């Protein structure tokens, strides 16, 4: 039954509107908290800005990054807890760039703690043996001498405890550990999982065939 106040306003209607508004506000707040929790501890979206990981990842690929597999990072620190496993050779990682941690980079792990990494005439050796890298591409046939550049001849270097040596799959056009050194466990954001969207920035077309592709 309707109830009216001294001004003739149906108070039941007013209370109903307030209740509906409150439900909407609560739903939005809960959704925002869940989104923040997921982005902080579980999964983060990442867009490929450069060609350093071609042909595995292309400019315009949008990825989902698994943030908990190597341990959930405590906000504003490098400390992590409950790791599923440690990064291993071949993993594709998103990490905070050691020279400017406000930027995120994506590369492939080549050397893990204790490994000895060396590059000889573009070929990568780990612990004295060449490694099989079917994902690697080279855009420049020229081999640069060691005294000119670290790109094609580098090392040997031993990866320190708790650190990793990372390289881009597009070896001739990647700014990676050959130039800035190792990345630490604390700088790792997570492992690339799947391409959820891909947009060719040159011709403006969606790359439908790449959507849903597992990153490996």
79 carries an active-site annotation = no
Assess contact for 140 and 172: CB atoms under 8 A.
yes
107 carries an active-site annotation = yes
Residues 6+ positions from 31 with CB-CB distance below 8 Å? none
Annotated catalytic residue within 86, 102, 107, 158? 107
Assess contact for 149 and 121: CB atoms under 8 A.
no
Among 54, 100, 80, residue whose Cα is nearest residue 190: 80
Distance, in Å, from the CA atom of 166 to the CA atom of 110, rounded to the nearest integer, reads 5
Whole-Å CA distances, 202 to 21, 149, 172, 199: 45, 31, 22, 9
Annotated catalytic residue within 18, 19, 52, 129? 52
**Pairing state between β 72-73 and 116-120:** unpaired
Distance, in Å, from the CA atom of 39 to the CA atom of 158, rounded to the nearest integer, reads 34
Positions marked catalytic: 52, 107
């Amino acid at each position: 039954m309707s109830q009216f106040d001294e001004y003739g306003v149906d108070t039941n209607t007013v209370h109903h509107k307030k209740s509906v508004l409150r439900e909407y506000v609560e739903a939005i707040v809960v959704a925002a908290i869940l989104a923040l929790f997921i982005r902080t501890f579980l999964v983060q979206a990442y867009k490929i800005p450069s060609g350093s990981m071609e042909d595995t990842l292309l400019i315009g690929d949008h990825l989902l990054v698994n943030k908990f597999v190597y341990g959930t990072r405590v906000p504003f620190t490098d400390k992590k807890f409950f790791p599923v496993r440690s990064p291993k050779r071949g993993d594709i990682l998103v990490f905070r760039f050691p020279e400017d941690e406000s930027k995120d980079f994506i590369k492939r792990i080549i050397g893990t703690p204790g490994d000895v990494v060396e590059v000889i005439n573009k070929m990568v050796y780990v612990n004295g043996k060449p490694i099989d890298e079917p994902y690697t591409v080279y855009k420049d046939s020229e081999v640069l001498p060691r005294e000119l550049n670290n790109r094609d001849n580098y090392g040997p270097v031993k990866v320190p405890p708790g650190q990793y040596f990372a390289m881009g799959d597009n070896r001739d056009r990647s700014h990676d550990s050959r130039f800035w050194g190792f990345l630490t466990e604390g700088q790792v954001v997570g492992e690339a999982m799947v391409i959820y969207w891909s947009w060719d920035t040159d011709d403006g077309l969606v790359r439908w065939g790449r959507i849903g592709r597992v990153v490996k």
